[in-house]
């Protein structure tokens, strides 16, 4: 089951015509990813300050289908598609009023904030991520 959350599209997220400014989508997406990790029991504050684990983006492929407008409520669906030793492949679907606005394929990697090298997902975090893994089995 995907992680779901919503965000308003605010005035500052749009260009002068009231259409979403695409870099704002990325800023909003970072907040959604942070919320997802918190929901998985791994708040970024704890990962960063206590466990010294970062989750940098290593791949992000976006496809835009329809414009978003100031005042829209953006509905995010985040799907966990694959978990590697240190990588995490996600898919995002973002809609407003039932219309898909954009989607993304997104990969992040667990890294040590001390060495800046990849590291294996800690067992507790791997288990939390695996519980959210989308399967194709019926």
Spatial separation of the C-alpha atoms in residues 8 and 76, rounded to whole Å? 11
According to DSSP, residue 66 is labeled: S
Nearest by Cα to 119 from 82, 87, 89: 87
Tell me the catalytic residues.
15
Spatial separation of the C-alpha atoms in residues 123 and 129, rounded to whole Å? 10
Spatial separation of the C-alpha atoms in residues 54 and 57, rounded to whole Å? 10
Nearest by Cα to 110 from 11, 17, 44, 41: 44
Chain centre distance of CA 29: 5
Spatial separation of the C-alpha atoms in residues 86 and 67, rounded to whole Å? 34
């Amino acid at each position: 089951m995907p992680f779901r959350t919503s965000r308003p599209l605010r005035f500052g997220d749009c260009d002068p015509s009231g259409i979403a400014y695409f870099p704002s989508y990325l800023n909003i997406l970072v907040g959604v990813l942070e919320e997802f990790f918190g929901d998985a029991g791994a708040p970024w504050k704890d990962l960063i300050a206590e466990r010294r684990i970062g989750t940098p983006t290593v791949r992000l492929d976006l496809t835009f289908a329809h414009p978003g407008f100031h005042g829209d409520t953006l509905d995010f669906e985040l799907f966990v598609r694959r978990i590697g030793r240190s990588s995490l492949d996600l898919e995002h679907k973002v809609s407003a009023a039932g219309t898909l606005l954009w989607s993304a394929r997104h990969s992040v990697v667990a890294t040590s904030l001390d060495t800046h090298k990849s590291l294996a997902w800690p067992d507790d975090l791997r288990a939390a991520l695996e519980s959210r893994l989308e399967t194709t089995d019926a």
